[in-house]
Amino acid sequence: MFMLSNLKKELRSKANPKKARILQGFFKTGPGEYGHGDVFLGITVPETRKLAEKYGGLKSEEAIKLLHSKIHEERLAALLILIKKFQTDQDKKKIYNLYLKNTRYINNWDLVDLSACKIVGDYLLDKPRSILYNLAKSKSVWERRISIIAAFSFIRNDDFEETLKISEMLLKDEHDLIHKAVGWMLREIGKRDIKAEEKFLQKHYKQMPRTMLRYALEKFPEKKRKQYLLS
């Protein structure tokens, strides 16, 4: 029997207060910062993965209860369990819908980056993708980040259309976490089709936030990278 209370107990038994303090700073949990209020136990990701694997038999509804936790590692474990269920269960739509109904709890960049592609992106591979454009317009930075990171699934299948359209929508976004995410996805396009990335950059590089542009250019030859950055 897979008990949610047992998973919580095991997670808390691995708490490391010293590491937790470091993570609180790294994930910007102070007043006014993007992760304000997030609480860490100080557990490594591999340890969390092992426990999520062990308790992978939890029902989806129990995983969602865990996702509502104020503790970061518990939300991480919940998402790992949901990803496993999405990959193995027949009812992928159920997991996808649960995910989208609970985006307010997927509220730090690592949680988004771990899960958006593997649940939202993979579900939408052969389906209409209008939801991503709605998410890209959201007031929530996490939903906007989900919209662009989910598109990584399409990039891996050499389908760049949504990524480029969403990137264009997010060009004027004010949040650094969106600048980094868009630049990262443009870089991933460039790894597969440099001409597709350059076509986008030539049109938009002068209006792109500098962080976004730097991320997008990371794999470019130094000379060409400087041409974009200095012109």
Task: Give phi and psi for 227, each to the nearest 5.
Answer: -60, -45
Q: Which residues pair with 39 in a beta bridge?
A: 71
Quick one: 83 and 197 in the same domain? no
Contact in structure between 166 and 132 (CB atoms under 8 Å): yes
**What pLDDT, on a 0 to 100 scale, did the predictor assign at position 231?**
82
Average pLDDT over residues 50-54: 95
Predicted confidence (pLDDT) at residue 53 exceeds the cutoff of 60: yes
Predicted confidence (pLDDT) at residue 42 exceeds the cutoff of 80: yes
Could you read off the pLDDT of 129-147 as tens digits, one per residue?
A: 999 999 999 999 999 999 9
Domain span at residue 159 reads 108-231
Domain count, the chain: 2
Quick one: 122 and 226 in the same domain? yes
Closest by Cα among 185, 115, 105, 174 to 148: 185
**What pLDDT, on a 0 to 100 scale, did the predictor assign at position 89?**
80
**Mean pLDDT, the chain, whole residue set:** 96
Quick one: 118 and 185 in the same domain? yes
**What pLDDT, on a 0 to 100 scale, did the predictor assign at position 206?**
94
Q: How far apart are CA 97 and CA 101, in angstroms?
A: 6
Quick one: 222 and 167 in the same domain? yes
Quick one: 98 and 121 in the same domain? no
Residue ending a domain, choose from 79, 106, 133: 106
Quick one: 113 and 66 in the same domain? no
Predicted confidence (pLDDT) at residue 2 exceeds the cutoff of 70: no
Quick one: 162 and 231 in the same domain? yes
Could you read off the pLDDT of 146-183 as tens digits, one per residue?
A: 999 999 999 999 999 999 999 999 999 999 999 999 99
DSSP-based three-state secondary structure for 39: strand
Quick one: 178 and 91 in the same domain? no
Quick one: 85 and 166 in the same domain? no
Could you read off the pLDDT of 72-83 as tens digits, one per residue?
A: 999 999 999 999
- Predicted TM-score (pTM) of the model is 0.95
| Residue 21 banded pLDDT, cuts 50, 70, 90 | very high
Quick one: 133 and 213 in the same domain? yes
**What pLDDT, on a 0 to 100 scale, did the predictor assign at position 3?**
87
Average pLDDT over residues 79-94: 93
Mutual orientation of helices 92-101 and 72-88 as an angle, nearest 10°?
150
Mutual orientation of helices 4-13 and 45-54 as an angle, nearest 10°?
160
Quick one: 193 and 225 in the same domain? yes
Residue ending a domain, choose from 106, 140, 166: 106
Contact in structure between 23 and 15 (CB atoms under 8 Å): no
Quick one: 43 and 90 in the same domain? yes
Question: Position of tokens 């317009």?
Answer: 137
- The domain that contains 73 carries what CATH number? 1.25.10.90
Closest by Cα among 97, 105, 164 to 127: 97
| Residue 90 banded pLDDT, cuts 50, 70, 90 | confident
Residue ending a domain, choose from 106, 122, 144: 106
Predicted confidence (pLDDT) at residue 88 exceeds the cutoff of 60: yes
